[in-house]
Amino acid sequence: MPAMKQLLYASALLIITCSFNSCEILGDGCQVCNTVSYENNNAIAWGTEAEYCGQDLINIKAIPPSTINGVTTYWECR
């Protein structure tokens, strides 16, 4: 019976470890993103970088560029 308990504990430890790293296992990685504003194809302003993960990252990447008075602002992630 001790071998069965060891297997149970090892399995539980594996499940707990995977749950803490589930983003990496599922490919739901994070990226650092910020806004960058361009005028005449030259970057002129940068927003503050922040890390986005999961659905928040998908939402950021779905935001289309906006242009005001010849300045176009994009979200860029790395």
Query: DSSP secondary structure string, 31-49?
Result: EEEEEEEEETTEEEEE---
Tens digit of each residue's pLDDT (9 = 90 or more) over 39-60:
999 999 999 999 999 999 999 9
**Which has more confidence, 3 or 49?**
49
C-alpha 75, offset from chain centre: 13
Give the residues across from 59 on adjacent strands: none
Contact 70, 34 (CB under 8 A): no
Is the pTM for the entire model greater than 0.75? Answer: no
**Pairwise CA distance, residues 37 & 14, whole Å:** 45
For residue 65, give its domain range.
2-77
Dihedral sign for Cα atoms in the order 22, 77, 68, 44: positive
Tens digit of each residue's pLDDT (9 = 90 or more) over 8-49:
556 555 565 555 444 444 556 899 999 999 999 999 999 999
Domain count across the chain = 1
Give the residues across from 77 on adjacent strands: 33
Q: How confident is the model at residue 6 (pLDDT cuts 50, 70, 90)?
A: low
